[in-house]
Structure 1
Amino acid sequence: MKWYVVYTKPKWEKRAAEQLSKFNINSYCPVIKKVQQRSDRKVKVEVPLFNHYIFVQLAEKDRNLVFHSPGVIRFLFWLGRHAIVKDQEIETIKEWLNSSDTSSDISVMQYQIGDQIHLNSGPFCDQNAVVKDITKTHYVLILESLGYVLKVKHK
């Protein structure tokens, strides 16, 4: 069975994954722990790694079952076809989130827009990227092999 990417309503990622699990659909919503400032204190919360997206593993004939969850809007498409994620990529995300080094940042200060770089740490380790934009606080990288645009904070 293939892993598909599903687009959800805002703030519905975890809820949609839970609902799909109740329908015996293997779903995965990667989450990270983040500190959020409340009016009187700081609180650690789990937030989705990818806003609006979850992964579902199912047979091609069963794709419409995901719409049993009211939080699911549509499938993600890439080059006119359903976006499919390899098992190895899902495992890489899981391993990275389970490691103690999930706070690693990528620094590419010496690079210019248009440069090709090789990422050697973090969740997209061993991927090639192109520097698309450089701001005061972030770099924007294009991971062509995965179809991602990645925003990375400066160190």
Structure 2
Amino acid sequence: MAWYAVYTKSRTEKKVALRLKEAGIEAYCPVNKREKQWSDRRKVTEEPLFRSYVFVNIDLDKQSATVRRTLGVVNFVYWLQKPAVIQDDEILAIQQFLSEHAAVEVFGNTLQVGDFITIDAGALKGQKAEVMGIKNRHEVRLRIDSLGFELVARVE
């Protein structure tokens, strides 16, 4: 048994988690409680912390087909051509953090000028590069010292 990240259709995270639980699968959709103000009332809502992601604790060989067949599930999140395994202590840390704090926001890792990266796709796969500049958050200038190149790369 291990935790895996599952990618869901947009805005179906809580429904997918409920469907997975109904199918007998341990699912966790971290939610953030937010107070919303309408013109006539205030209401506390629960919004998924990670948009389009739900975590499942399964035996991959026995239960992956059930997870994939669940309405709203797109696929597992992959890392190095295998479903990405999430450590138990990371799930526990998320649960504990959410129980202690309100109005939590999630920010993805961002590149900064001066960071060193390893190119993971394309003709220069495996080469180390230094981030020299960033344009529009999706275009990065890289310097590869070992080859004597400076190039522009598109990043997701």
TM-score by length of 1: 0.63
RMSD of aligned residue pairs (Cα, Å)? 2.9
Amino acid across the alignment from 2:86: V
In structure 2, the residue matched to 1:88 is: 89
Q: Does 1:78 align with 2:79?
A: yes
CA shift for structure 1 position 79: 2.6
* Cα separation, partners in 2 of 1:44 and 1:104, compared to 1, 3 Å: closer
Identity %: 36
Closer, same or farther in 2 for the Cα pair 1:104/1:9, shift >3 Å? Answer: closer
Distance 1:103 1:12, change over 3 A: closer
Bigger Rg over Cα: 2
Label 1:83 to 1:44 Cα distance change in 2 as closer, same or farther (>3 A).
Answer: same
Shift in alpha-carbon separation, 1:43–1:21, aligned structure 2, 3 A: same
Partner of 1:15: 15
Q: How far did 1:67 drift?
A: 2.5
CA separation in 2, counterparts of 1:115 and 1:103? Answer: 32
1:66 paired residue number = 67
- Structure 2, gaps ≥5 residues long: 106-111, 116-132, 135-156
CA displacement at 1:49 relative to structure 2: 0.5
The amino acid across from 1:22 in the alignment is E
CA distance in 2, matches of 1:77, 1:38: 40
Q: Distance in 2 between matches of 1:21 and 1:94?
A: 18
Question: Which residue pairs with 2:38 in the alignment?
Answer: 38
Q: Given residue 73 of structure 1, which amino acid in structure 2 is its aligned partner? A: V
